[in-house]
Amino acid sequence: MTIGSITTGAQTVTATGAVTSTSGLDISGITGDYTIHVRIQNLSTASATPKLTLQLEDSVNAFTAVLPVVVKEVTGPIATNAEQHFSWRKYETPNLRAGTGSAVLRANVMALGGTTPSLTLDSWLEY
């Protein structure tokens, strides 16, 4: 079993956009079964209910264009002692272009709602 990091460890995010490197995880050589993991360790705001829309997306042209693989909406708060873990197997993500030349995968925060929101997450691919 091999673990490929989609994010570089746990990342704290306070705005929308790609999480960590925009180059993404190289998935061009993955041809067998896999599981995508996302762990949300914290989702909070100063007021109101924190909301998150996270998109796992792949690209074959350095993210000039993307293909959404998974879109996950989460409503918090999520405390560090009650983290949430989500996972998707290969058969649940038929859009993922694993095994395709130049294919890469990244996590992208599409929406992060609430006053001064804070999100801590990490994600990886197990294959």
pLDDT digits (tens, 9 = 90+) for 13-66: 999 999 986 789 999 999 999 999 999 999 999 988 999 999 999 999 999 999
Q: Which residues pair with 121 in a beta bridge?
A: 11, 40
What pTM, to 2 d.p., does this model score? 0.94
Total structural domains within the chain: 1
Residue indicated by tokens 């570089």? 8
Return the structure tokens found at 43.
């989702």
CATH of the domain at 48: 2.60.120
Provide the domain limits for residue 26: 3-126
Query: Alpha-carbon distance 26 to 6, whole Å?
Result: 9
> What mean pLDDT value characterizes the chain?
96
Residue 82 DSSP label = G
* Residue in 57, 35, 36, 42 with CA at minimum distance from that of residue 107: 57
Closest CA to 31 of 97, 125, 86: 97
